[in-house]
Structure 1
C-alpha cells in the first residue's frame, strides 16, 4: 500500500478505536497488505481489495484461545 493509504487507514482506525494505541505499518514486500499493531503487538492484517471496480479494505484479526484466558 502507498504511504498516503497507510496514513488514512491509521487515522481511521485511531478515530474508530478512540484511546487505543493503534498503528498501521506497511509491509515492504506485500503491495496490497499492511499490518495492524495495538500497543506495539501485532493483532492483524489489512488487505486492499478492488473487486468489481470498488475499493475496500479488509481487517483480519486472529484471536487465539490462549489469549481469552
Structure 2
C-alpha cells in the first residue's frame, strides 16, 4: 500500500516490486501535487492524518475538564 501523507490519496497493489503500477501512480501523484508518499506492506489502513491529532487533544482536554468539574460537585 502506498499513501499520501498530505491528502486522502492511497493505492493498494498486491505486487510490491518497485516497478509495479502503484509505484508509477505514486510518482505521478508526487509530480502533480508535490505531496509526500509513504508505503506500508501491511494490509492495514494508512495512519491517522496529522489534522486528527489536534482534534483528539482538544477532545481529551474537554473530557478531562468535565471529569474534574464533576469531582468538584
TM-score exceeds 0.5: no
Higher relative contact order (CA 8 A, sep 6+): 2
Higher-helix-fraction structure: 2
Larger radius of gyration: 2
Higher-strand-fraction structure: 1
TM-score (norm 1): 0.33
TM-score (norm 2): 0.32
